[in-house]
A and B are shown apart, each in its own frame.
Chain A
Amino acid sequence: SYGLTQPPSVSVSPGQTASITCSGDKLGNKYVSWYEQKAGRSPVLVIHQDNRRPSGIPDRFSGSNSGNTATLSIRGTQSADEADYYCQVWDSNTGVFGTGTKVTVL
């Protein structure tokens, strides 16, 4: 079955850029979505189709996808960005989530 691997944790200083990677076989051939999940809350879509932001998501959030790696970048990271982040794709009509990355703003 298809798998997506993310680093368990990423630490970033306030105001800096956080980069979260998502790795999978030929991932660049698939559309990647990214979700933010704050403690005790439902996931929120922050990026879809690799690099598109839904309405209401700040332009500090951006995405890219090429080869075997997709990346979610959070520019000007704030304490409010502390959350778990998950990548997600569809593989032959099967939904697959990444392992998740906890972002800590130090």
Chain B
Amino acid sequence: QLQLQESGPGLVKPSETLSLTCNVSGYSIIRSSYYWAWVRQPPGEGLEWIGNIFYSGSTYYNPSLNSRVTISVETSTNQFSLNLTSVTAADTAVYYCARRHTSGALDFWGQGTLVTVSS
């Protein structure tokens, strides 16, 4: 059974870089034509798509974050990662990783990890 698990620091200082990793288990990232995604949710607010990556490294990013975000994949460890630079308090959110099915749906999600931006 596919499982995704986010990991990384829960506290990041303003202007620094937020770095998270999603560990994928029960399924190989390179196995088929799926994209792997990051989504975030500020406290009390709605969902915001951050970006997708294919195992080949092809990426798509939210235009509103494009200049600050990088998503990378490490096929040898079956993980993919998120880097978000120059963070501010507005980047405080629960960050989720998810699988994008070929249908377009995000069909498997991690449990989410809260990242707080504060000095």
Interface residues of A (CB under 8 A from B): 1, 31, 33, 35, 37, 42-45, 48-49, 52, 54, 86, 88-90, 93-100
- B46, B48, B103, B105 pick with most chain A CB within 10 angstroms: B105
Q: How far is the CA of A96 from the CA of B52 in the complex (A)?
A: 12
A45:B106 contact, CB within 8 angstroms: yes
Q: Mark B22-47, 1 if CB is under 8 A from A, else 0.
A: 00000000000000010100000011
Q: Is the CB of A33 within 8 A of B62?
A: no
Is B63 a contact partner of A33 (Cβ separation < 8 A)? Answer: no
The 10 closest A-B pairs by CB, nearest first: A95-B49, A48-B105, A33-B105, A42-B109, A100-B46, A97-B47, A93-B60, A48-B103, A45-B107, A49-B103
Overall SS of chain A's interface: strand
| Count of chain B residues near A, Cβ 8 A | 22
Q: Is the interface of B mostly helix, strand, loop or mixed?
A: loop
Q: Does B68 contact A (CB under 8 A)?
A: no
The interface of chain B, by Cβ under 8 A from chain A, is 37, 39, 46-49, 52, 60, 62-64, 96, 101, 103-107, 109-112
Q: Are B49 and A97 in contact (CB under 8 A)?
A: yes
Return chain A residues, CB-CB under 8 Å to B104.
31, 33, 48-49, 89-90
